[in-house]
Amino acid sequence: AQSVTQLDSHVSVSEGTPVLLRCNYSSSYSPSLFWYVQHPNKGLQLLLKYTSAATLVKGINGFEAEFKKSETSFHLTKPSAHMSDAAEYFCVVSDPYGSSNTGKLIFGQGTTLQVKP
């Protein structure tokens, strides 16, 4: 089965500094990987996804992630943090049902991003 591990439960950065949220995955095949964001008392919003095309994936709000198969990583980055980026971030992998092309999402435990003024 597929799994994801988010290496930091909490990350704190200053506004205007870079953001790095780390995620490692475990998969026996080429996975579909996603990053979702959850703002307080809100639903989940897709930031970006990787589905075996370009390894550097650009998402919304200036976020991007790089798929590194050799390191089984899919870290999320942003060059300059904004106060509005403060939220919970989830690294997610698709887990197929047997050999089918359908599956469910498996979520990491989440990383809380704090942005200090």
Partner 1 sequence: DSGVTQTPKHLITATGQRVTLRCSPRSGDLSVYWYQQSLDQGLQFLIQYYNGEERAKGNILERFSAQQFPDLHSELNLSSLELGDSALYFCASSVVGHLEETQYFGPGTRLLVL
Please report, as ranges, the residues that interact with partner 1 according to CB under 8 A. Answer: 32, 34, 36, 42-46, 49, 51-52, 90, 94, 96-97, 101-110
Q: Is the dihedral of CA 62, 43, 86, 106 positive or negative?
A: negative
Residues with Cβ within 8 Å of residue 100, at least 6 apart in sequence:
none
Q: Which is nearer to partner 1, 60 or 83 (CB)?
A: 60
Q: Which is nearer to partner 1, 77 or 107 (CB)?
A: 107
Q: Which is nearer to partner 1, 22 or 49 (CB)?
A: 49
Residues with Cβ within 8 Å of residue 53, at least 6 apart in sequence:
none
- AA identity, residue 45: Q
Q: Which is nearer to partner 1, 62 or 103 (CB)?
A: 103
Q: How is the beta sheet containing 33-38 ordered, strand by strand?
A: 10-14, 111-116, 87-96, 33-38, 44-50
Q: How far is the CB of 19 from partner 1 (least distance, A)?
A: 21
CB 12 within 8 A of CB 20: no
Q: How far is the CB of 42 from partner 1 (least distance, A)?
A: 7
Q: How far is the CB of 57 from partner 1 (least distance, A)?
A: 13
Q: How far is the CB of 94 from partner 1 (least distance, A)?
A: 4
